[in-house]
């Protein structure tokens, strides 16, 4: 099999929420595969700092700061996003509480930050893909696209929504030359999950629950995102690829 199938040279990729967490690993993966990467976050300073770090490593990167959950902010970035071939909808938030403890405002913030944001960015980027007859949309779901868990109801609701939105995107855009798929990460070791990883009781329970027996490292998402961003996945559409050490495969 030719490695050219996975070559992203000449493509432009937008990775939302790529100033920290898993977004950094996703952006680095497509950049190392040859794509020009647009680094995104709400902070212009953080986005430029991350883009500088990528450029120092020899990658082609630019910064574009906007709030993915705000329609006006996304629309203002449209000129920079016009040539995007690969869209990775990664930005997201959570707020762990029990269902009855959430205010309506807290619920809506998570819905907007994770699900509405995916719609807003896609409707800005995908028209250009349709015009060119080519595009890759990669939405970031979660094992909670499939599983329920206490203290995460709105987050799980958004990630279940990502799973179905991905299928709807496939149904509408596949005839136009676009593949829409999702990645469902399991429990990855990042600064955002440190509080869980540092919880000895939870971490022991989790390792016993995962067939692979450990937390994942961010770079272990690289293969999945490059595959779904490349020609290698041209006949893969509407799917969610779980990268979870087997968590969703077992009871």
Residue 80: both structure tokens together = 């920079």
What is the CA angle 158-155-12, rounded to 5? 60
Task: Please name which of 143, 93, 97 lies closest in space to residue 117, comparing C-alpha atoms.
Answer: 93
Q: Which residues are catalytic?
A: 155
Residue 175: both structure tokens together = 């005839």
Task: Please name which of 150, 164, 151, 147 lies closest in space to residue 248, comparing C-alpha atoms.
Answer: 147
- Kindly state the greatest CA–CA separation across the chain: 53
* Beta carbons of 89 and 122 less than 8 angstroms apart: yes
Residue 83: both structure tokens together = 């040539």
**Helix, strand, coil percent values for the chain (each to nearest 5):** 50, 15, 35
Kindly give, in sequence order, each residue whose CB lies less than 8 Å from that of residue 2, ignoring residues fewer than 6 positions away.
Answer: none
* Beta carbons of 83 and 131 less than 8 angstroms apart: no
CA–CA separation, 211 vs 207, rounded Å? 8
CA–CA separation, 220 vs 222, rounded Å? 5
């Amino acid at each position: 099999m030719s490695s050219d199938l996975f070559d992203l040279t000449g493509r432009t990729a937008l990775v939302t929420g790529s100033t920290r967490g898993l977004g950094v690993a996703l952006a680095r993966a497509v950049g190392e595969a040859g794509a020009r990467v647009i680094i995104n976050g709400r902070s212009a300073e953080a986005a430029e700092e991350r883009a500088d770090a990528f450029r120092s490593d020899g990658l082609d990167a630019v910064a574009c700061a906007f709030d993915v959950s705000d329609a006006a902010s996304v629309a203002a970035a449209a000129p920079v996003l016009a040539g995007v071939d690969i869209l990775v909808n990664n930005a997201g938030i959570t707020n762990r509480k029990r269902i009855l403890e959430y205010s309506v405002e807290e619920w809506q913030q998570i819905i907007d930050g994770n699900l509405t944001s995916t719609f807003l960015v896609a409707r800005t980027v995908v028209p250009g893909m349709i015009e060119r007859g080519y595009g890759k949309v990669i939405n970031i779901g979660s094992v909670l696209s499939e599983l329920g868990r206490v203290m995460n109801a709105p987050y799980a609701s958004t990630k279940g929504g990502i799973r179905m939105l991905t299928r709807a995107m496939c149904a509408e855009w596949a005839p136009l030359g676009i593949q829409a798929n999702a990645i469902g990460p399991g429990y990855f070791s990042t600064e955002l999950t440190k509080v869980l990883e540092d919880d000895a009781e939870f971490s022991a329970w989790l390792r016993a629950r995962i067939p692979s027996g450990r937390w994942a490292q961010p770079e272990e998402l690289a293969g999945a995102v490059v595959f779904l961003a490349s020609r290698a996945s041209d006949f893969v559409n509407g799917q969610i690829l779980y990268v979870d050490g087997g968590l969703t495969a077992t009871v």
